[in-house]
Every structure is written in C-alpha cells, then in structure tokens.
Structure 1
Amino acid sequence: MPPLPPRLRRPRARSVALLAALATAGTLAVSTANGSTPDRAAPADAAGPVLPAAWPAEADGFASVNALGQDGTYGGRDGETVTVTTEEELRRYATADEPYTIQVAAAIEYAETGEEIPVASDKTIVGVGTTGEIVGGGFFLGEGTHNVIIRNLTIRDTYDGDWDGKTHDWDAIQMDGAHHVWIDHNHLTRMADGLIDSRKDTTYLTVSWNHLSEHNKAFGIGWTENVTAEITIHHNWLHETGQRNPSADNIARAHLYNNYLLDDPAGDISMSYGNWARGATNMVLENSYFENVRDPYFVDPEGQLVERGNILDNTSGRAETRGDGFDPGDYYDYTLDAAEDVPELLRAGTGPQADIGTSAPAVEDADLVVAPDGSGDFTSVADAVEAVPAGNDAPFTIAVEPGVYRETVLVPRDRPHVRLVGTGDSPDDATIVYNNSAGTERPDGGTYGTSGSATFAVDADDFQATNLTFANDFDEVANADQEGHQAVALRTRADRVVLRDIIADGDQDTLLLDTESKGVQGRVLLVDSTVRGNVDFVFGRATAVIQRTDIEVVTRPDGSSSGYVAAPSTVAEHPGFLIVDSRITGDVSPGSYYLGRPWYAGGDAALHPQVVVRDTELGAAVRSAPWTDMSGFPWTGARFAEYRNTGDGAGQPGPDRPQLTDEEAAHHTPESWLGDWTPAG
C-alpha cells in the first residue's frame, strides 16, 4: 500500500489526558450525566451504555424506525447463521436472496483490489470477535436494498496513492438508495475514495461505534437534490481523517451525538473541517467532543444546525448554528453520554469488539461439556481433556460451564485442535485454579519447578481458549520460608495457540509462553484479555503477540511496589514478545515497575531476548528507565524497543528508552510476527 501523504500540522496549545478504560464483560462504566439536555440524559450515577454481549442485535436511531414497509433493522436474524473465511463464501451468502447472518472469522483479502461485494437485503455481516477483516475491498448496497447490518469488521487498504480519491471509487461501504441499514463497531481505514458513502436518498441509516482513521474522505452523505433522508450518527471516533467528518448534504433529519473528532498533532493528516450541514440539511448536534479541529461545525445558508452540550478543545474557525432543528426524541428513544466522557468512552468502545459476533457454543454443540454440578459429561476439565481422542485431527470443543475448578490440567501433545470455551457471561465465571509453586514438593519426590507449577499447561498445537480464567493462588506469605515462589497460572509450549478473552491471574511468573524446545518456534496470540502479576509475569521463549490486552501490575505480597512485566528468553532467529494496542497499568506506586528484563535461560549467552511495546498506553507505574539487567546480562544486549506509546509512563525517547523508527516499526506488526499463520475464530 502506498504511504499516506504528509500533511501540514498546527501546534497544539494544550494537551488532554485521556485514559481508555474498558470494563469487564464488554460493559463500559461511564457517567451519562449532562446538564444541557436533562430530558435526554441519564442520572449521573447511572451505568453507561452497555456494549452488545450477544448476537444478533437490532439497530437503534433512525434505522430502528418503522417506515417504508420495514419495521426496524435486524439484518439476517430470521435466517441461517453461516461462518465464512474466503471471498467466495462471503460473496455467495451476501448476494443470496435468503436472509443470512454471515460471521466473518478471518482476514479475507479480495482477489481484485477495490471490489465492492453487492449485499442483498436481510443480511447481517459481522466479524467474529476481532478476527473479521475485509482487505482490499468493501461492500455496495444498491437501490432498494434494506434491512442490512454491517458490524464488527475491519475494512481496510484499497488506498492507491491518490489522496484526493479521483482515480478509483473504492469505498469501504457505499450505499445508493438503500434504507434501514446499521453500520456498527467497524474500523474503516486507508481506502481509495470514501470510508462510508451514503448516497442517492439512502435513509433510515444508523452509524454507531465505528472508528474511522487514516483517510482523506471519511463519511460523505448526499449526492441528491431531494431532502428526504433520515440518519443517526452516534459514538463514532473520527481520528486523522481529512474531510467529510461527516459532510451531510440535503438531509431531512441528521442526528449526530456523542461523536469524537480528533485531529492528532503528531499524525500525518490534517483534518479540514468537522461536521458540515450542507444544502438544506437539518442537523441536531449533541454532546460531541471536538479536539484540535478546524471549523468544528457549520451550516449552509439554506440549512439548519442546532448544537447543545458539545465540547470544543483547542479548536479554531467556524462553530456556527442556524434555525430551530428538530427533536430526535419524537422519532426514537436515546440516551446521551456526557461530552467530557466521550474521548475515554470511544477510545475504548469503538471498532471491533471481542464480545460481538461471538458467543460460547451452545452446550449441545460442544463435543464435551464440563459442569461442576454433574449436569455435563465431566465435572473435571482435566478429565474432559483426557477424553479427547489421541491424534485428534479436527477442532474438538470442550464447553466449560460456570464454576471454580480446583485442579491442574495438561493438554498433552497428542491432543491437538482443542477449543476450550467458557459458557459464562465473562471470563471469571469459569475459573481453573491451583496453588503449586516452583518450590512445592511433588508427591513422587522433588519439587515442581517453575514450569511444572502451572495450573493449566498446553503442549498440543492449535489450541484455543476463550472466555476463561486461569489462576494460581499460591500464598507467598504463608510460605515465606519456602524457596521457589514462582507460581505459573498458564503455560503454553506449543505452536498456533490462541488465547482470547481470558484472564491469567497470579503473582510471580503468571504466564509462561514457551516452546517445545529451544530451536522450535511456538507462536501465541493473546488478545482482548487480562494478565496480572508483579515479577516476570509474562515470560518465556515463544513468539507472542499480546494485543488489546490489559497488563495489570499488582503489589507484592508484602504490600510493596516493585517488579518486572516481561522476561523473554527468545532465541536469536525468532521474534519475541510484541505488546501492541494494549494497556500496562496498576494501582501501585508510580515509577515502580520495569517493562522487562532479559532472561538468558540457563546462562545461554547465544539467546537474544526481545520485547517490543508499541501503540500502548503505559500507566504511571512504569519506570522512566523501563528496562533493566538480569543475572549479570545487560538489557542493552537484548532487543528491547518502544514505538508510539502514550500515557504517564511513556516518558521521553533516549538512551534508556530505545524507539523504533517508522521504517523499523513496519516490520514489527502482528502479521509479521506470526508469519504464515493467520489466527481465525
């Protein structure tokens, strides 16, 4: 893909500290109070908007209105649910006459760049968790197409080098005369013309919780002289987009609320303007947040624009209103979030979410069920794993019902393709926990050692765990005199391991990501999860991508604050740990934790430990000099680096904080780290 062109920047007068906090189980805890519109706002102590926890779901806003013979927008609810991983499969179901819920469970790269698959009526196209991507193309909804949901996808990369988008009309989503469409929780980026084009009287459209980024033409609405369309645009993050943010031309009713427009001074793209009510558009703009935006909102002479409750942070130019607008509450119910909460809320909640498009398999669909009350096939997870056929050559699903399973579990090497799925509402509903440590005495003599202390151990390739907690509750205080306090909650020693929406909870040496042997690569994707600990609690020689994950440093058992996040023991020929789009935080003393130290296991100087932390929020717990030596080996001999991190713990680049260049960063991505393996599902 050609690079995006650099744009002229403007100095930023002041900064706003924004902390993205995503609560458990897909629920965002935010204030919804706003004094400017008391009739629409929830009380100050009310819970914030709840991210959808189950599929399918139906639209809100104008897409929910009963009109044109369509009572709301619910997509393929009444049809079959299918899962697709190829363009051919996606096209087959998207163009079919019958209703379908189409779950996209992989990155699907179109054979012809810029192709827009035509979507027929009564369809839901939804990414499975964060795995669904459309690469090099998009979707088209033509005249009369209705009742369509496009949700939870990343749609990216048709950009052809023409910044003005005149060479090709390669949009992410284009609608010409469609109605009752819901575009929700997508990340749309780097396309060749528009990210979203709503054209030619497309109406009863709701666009919600999307992240639009790195593009010139974000969201264009109109291409008509008629003034009939009714559109709701709420909770969208427009980040580094040049124009059409959106521009709305001749829209009968355009309701925009709780959107976040951010022109990042450190980015390459200068936002030309914000919300533009073009032509005869009647726009109501509520409780949005404009940061560093030139001309945040304005209206043409024949249009109307009413604003209330918006925040303008370091903006310039036009902020103009005209007319009386309309009352969106006459058409549908809605609740406003406080404008001051919008940046935090949208950084956390926009784009694809782990708990959309996924659900734990129904008990009857699993190969085996574990339930503590005896209602399943087993009461022990270990017994269920033992029942997997040796040499199994296809996915084998074990459903784990809510409960606490106090046991140790080993998935042996001859049981590949195991899918272990918690059926509860959140990962901590089903917890597998034990309390062995490195110094714990084994029944057959000796001690367990660090690796042997694991509560849950994976030796089999192609293993997946979803929606579960793995914990080690070894009591260091009660065993203060014992040598060997390392206590592993989860250990992997395999290739192609996916850990999604899990919690790994422990103290010292919580998560061991290892390989079968020194010369063998073991790749792990840990995504949308939480890891807790204090000393070397992400360690090992695996090649691991840790993405969109909360890494929580916790105090030592004596209440003190000190420790290390990562201790890689990577071999020289393999990548190590890549921490990306994540958060490293903790309720501990500021500046008390290192990002990592190099573990030359067994004193092997030929190792070349590696950690790259990029595009990640570093809390105040992180030291200003975040790397340190280990066992006589200097950290400077390891491959430690940062790139574009933010937060109170990010600090300044310097000798103590090596930074990747832009060119180097292009080679340190999840895709490059994982090589020829594309995790799905």
Structure 2
Amino acid sequence: MTHLRSKRLRARAMASAWALATALGLGGLSPAPAAVAADSTEAAAAQPQAADRLSDTPHGFASLAGGTTGGAGGKVVTVTDQASLAKYAAAEGRYIIRVKGSIAVEPFGSNIQVTSDKTIVGVGTSGEIVHGELHLNPGTHNVIIRNLTIRDSYVEGDWDGKTQDFDGIQMDTVHHVWIDHNRLTHMGDGLLDIRKDSEYITVSNNRFDNHNKAFGIGWTDNVKTQITIDHNWFSGTKQRNPVVDNAAYAHLYNNYLSAQVADGDPVWSYGNWSRGRTKMVIENSYYEDVQHPYQADATAELVERGSILKNTTGRHDEWGTAFDPRDFYDYRLDPADAVPALVKKFSGPQKILGTNTVLNVPADYPTVQSAVDAVPNGNDGEVTVRIAPGTYREHVKVPAGKPYVTLRGTGDDREDTVIVYDTPAGEVKPDGSTQGSWGSATVVVQGNDFTARNLTFSNDYDEAAHGQSQALAMKTTGDRIVFENTAFLGNQDTLMTDSPKLETVSRVYIRDSYIEGDVDFIYGRATTVIEKSVIKALNRGSATNNGWITAASTWKENPYGFLITDSKVVSDAPAGSVHLGRPWHPGGNPDAIAQVLFRDTELPAAIKASPWTDMGGFSWKGARFTEYRTYGPGAAITADRPQMSDADAAHHTVADYLAGTDDWAPYLP
C-alpha cells in the first residue's frame, strides 16, 4: 500500500491540478509580468533584487571551503538581557540567537564571548548591543553576526582610541565568519577588527559611522586572510575604511565611502589602504568627499576598476595584478552610480531580518520534527521550516506553545515533499490503550498561526490489508491555521480541523489544495474554509454507500462551521453513492450542532440525491446543512437538500467565516 500510494501521488496531483483549473475556468498558470524597466541605472539596481540582498546565505569568501552556516541545525533562542546573550553566545553547540531590544552591557566596554557555530541576529531593527563588544577568540569558526546595532562604548576625549580596547566586534585567528547588515558606531577603539590570520570572511551590507578607526584587517606578518567586503557604507569615519594588512586576497566591491571626517590630517584620513603584501581588488565602489580614496604600499598590489570618484583628493594608487575574484566565486557587480542609493537602502539593520528564522530540512535538521523541536517554547517570531523534496516518514507535532511556525516544501510541486505515516487509531500502545485520533494523525498542529505550503500530508494505513480504521493525515486544534497548495491523503478521517474545546473557536483556511478520503474525511468543530480546492470522494466499492465527505461538530453558539466554496468535488464512485455529510455529536453532546455550507461548488454524479444522513441518533435535520448555487451532475434542489437564501448567503462569505474578533483575513494578497 505504501508503494502504491507513493506512485499515485503525482498522478493525483496532476489530476487535481487539472480539475481545479477546470473548476475555476483556468487555462494554466501565467508568469508574473516582467518588471517595467527603470528610468535609471540606480533605480534598476535598487528594485527587483531586494530579496537577494536580504538573503540568509553567505556569499564571497565566507561561502567557500565548506561554507558558513552559523547556528543552523541548533536551537533557536530569543534573548533580551546580557545574561542570556552571554550564556548562549558562549555555550557549546549550535544556537540561533535572536537579540530582541536593546541590551546594555556592564561593566562598560565588556566583552560578550562568542563561540563556534553561532548565529546572532537582531530582531528587525530592535536588536542592539550597547557599551559592549562581541569577541571571538582564536580557533572560533562558523559564526554569523547579522542585523545588530553595536554602539556607544566611546570614552569621552579618546578620539584616537588609545586608552581602551573597546571594539564593536573583534576576532583573532578565526575562520568562516559572516558579518552582515549591522550598524557599528561610536565605539571606544575599532568598530570591526579582524585580526591575526583570520580566514574565509565576508563583511557585507554594514554601516560604519561616527568614528575614527572603522575597520582594520591584519595585525600579522603572515599572508593568509581571504576576505570579501561589499555593499558597506562608511560615513563620518576618518580611517580604516578598511585598512588591509598582509591579506592574501581582499576583494572590495560596491562599497560607498562618504562624508569622511575632515580634521586636516594629511596621512591618517583615508579610504581603503592595501598594506604589507596584501593583494586587493576594488570594483565599482563610490567615493565622495574622501581624502586618499585608495592607496597601496610599494610591497602591496591594488587593482581598481569601475569606481566613481566625487570630490576626492590625494592618493589613487593602482599597481600590480592582484587576483581575479571570479577564480574563487561568482558575484553580482552593481553599477557604481547605483551604489549610493543601494547602500543607503539596504545596508545596516533591516526590519524584515531576524523576524523570520529559517530552518532547513534535511540540510540542517534531519527530520521535520527535529526542526520543530528547535523552535523555542513561547516563540514570538516567525519560524519557517524549509523542507527539501523527499518522503519524510515520521509523526510531526507542533505544540501549542510554539506558534508562528510555517512548514514549506521547496519542491516544484506539492507532491514532491511528502510527510507520511501509517498509524491507525486502533493501534495498541505499550500501555494497552489505543492510539485514538490524536495518535493516528501523521501531523498534529496545536500551535496558533501555523502555515503549511507546497506539501503533501498522508496517512497510508492499508485498510485493504488490515481493516477499516480512523487514520488521520492531519489534525489541527490551533487558531489561524493556513494551508496553501497542500494535499491531504487518506481514507477515513483524513483531515480533522478541531479546537481545544467545544466552546473555543479555532479557524482554518485551506486554499488551492486537494483532499481525499471516504468516511467523514473532513471533520471536526473548527471554523474551516476550503476555497478553490479539489475534494475527492474515494470509491469504497459499494454500489449504494461510499461514505461521507463531512462530519462537522460545530458549537451551537458558533454560526460558522465548514464552508466549501469555489471548489470542485470529484469521485470515481458509482452515481448516487456518496453523501455530503452527517452531524457529529462527540460523546452525544447536544451542543455540537453541525454547520456546513457547500457554496458555488461543482458536485459529481456520485453525490446522492438525498446527501445528508443522521448520525449517532441525531437527525441531520437538526443540523445546519445547506447548499448555495452548487452545480454539476450531482447538484439538485429537493426537499432533502436545504438551500441557503441570497440574504443569508450575503453573510456566509469567506470573510464572515474567518474574521473573528481580530479581522483575520489570510485570503487577502
């Protein structure tokens, strides 16, 4: 059965896509229109690549020799105080550390030790480290520092930084470090010091401002460092923008140097300096109001091409052949005249960064559940679990204490990424009890604000071999649940959308999806909207009864149960053998009064002429079962098929079902 299910996945998805296109009158999917050409090079460079410029993937030298992944594969934690930051930054193992709010470090100028395999990222523009330094000791490796403001350890009167070594970020003899989208300002010594044979470093999209000595590289006689420096903004700084001493390869491109501190110093006010035996390549940078924009020692090499100089004076040294960065990695070079606008917009902390943590399965976490386990309890930021194409045979549970989780398949189609198990409700557990619906579900979602996209959820329990049983593919109890471009495969009780208790209203929105089963395969008490989707009623082999599509148990005070709208029901069962639904009263509770509306939905010939039936001693006529403008060979208007009036239908829209008290509107673009 497992292998048969797997082979049928693609066929089902193709059939459902065709059926959906037919139901909606679509001839196919059209690509988004090409972006209108910008009026200037600057605008063209600034517009369409915003997502690329905020990518979570390191580039340049930090991407080589195994790459830099930081804390990927470890726990996600959010810190709001110095003690927590220090604890996790120095801990053994992998951590993704979200810095939320401003953390004032004491004593003034103290170090926060950062060990290997860490990502430290500010949440939006809120993450700040004040009066303190992030420090990486020799041997530290695989560290990402992103989206932080590090500021204000300046000692009044010490402009030259001679009395205290209060850097913003300092590292000695490290490798594989990515410094990205930070703002470093007004510190006691250097803003960023990369020292003593550090290797495979990328420094990108940062702001260095209001300081004397911005960014130094070297403090070594060895020629080992490989560093990429791109799209940084140096403004209101005097020197080290950067200075690079004895680096094997220093690639500087698309940086913006502006408004240099003008104190009349003829030597130590400068832009880029290639010192010692450094090989430096500068490309398409922009220098404005800068003295000595780029210079090189006689022993060093410096190749410059494509940069723009505006109101600059002093040295413009170019000699030697240096190296070709493309011998090491590919990169996108922006036009020099676009650099000021790009760097002003995209450098420094960004509102979107740190708000959505990305966890990759199986690249960073071996299973979907292990990625969910990495999400902190009480999670207050979005976490996206990106799942590579493949079949994941496991149970997955998203607990109530882990909201804002998204599971997203990364394949071309939803059938490319499948989460599946084969547990029936009647399976006996070690303690002698049975699994029940909770235990049978392949995936259980208890957390609020959950989203799944581009995935298939399946329970491939083999009824033919082992007998009929509940066997859920998905069970939800959380509120504000969204499924887009998903498939739910099973037989009995495939999809249960529920709530923690009868009187609690949970909402579920399902769009552009596919659901199949036979007995009560869409059921529960959650307010559930299924829109623009395909529902397949399977053939159980009966000539007269091939099951029920729905079994709602809506709380009597809730006017909205199940809405199936703008969709298509398909079936290969004999004509007149499938029911639309029956009323489920769990435990005989009379307050669970089903509400189901099939609206603007095509029905096949398999639907019974009298499609609603009693259940558990409760008459279907006591439930709230209606149709509105259903069509197709299975649609009819008879005494056994209540029709909703136009007046009532005006108050039974997708918006009405989902709005609640918080105006939730997941259907909007």
Query: Normalization by structure 1: what TM-score?
Result: 0.48
**Larger Rg over CA atoms:** 2
Give TM-score scaled by structure 2 length: 0.49
Relative to total residues, which structure has the larger helix share, 1 or 2? Answer: 2
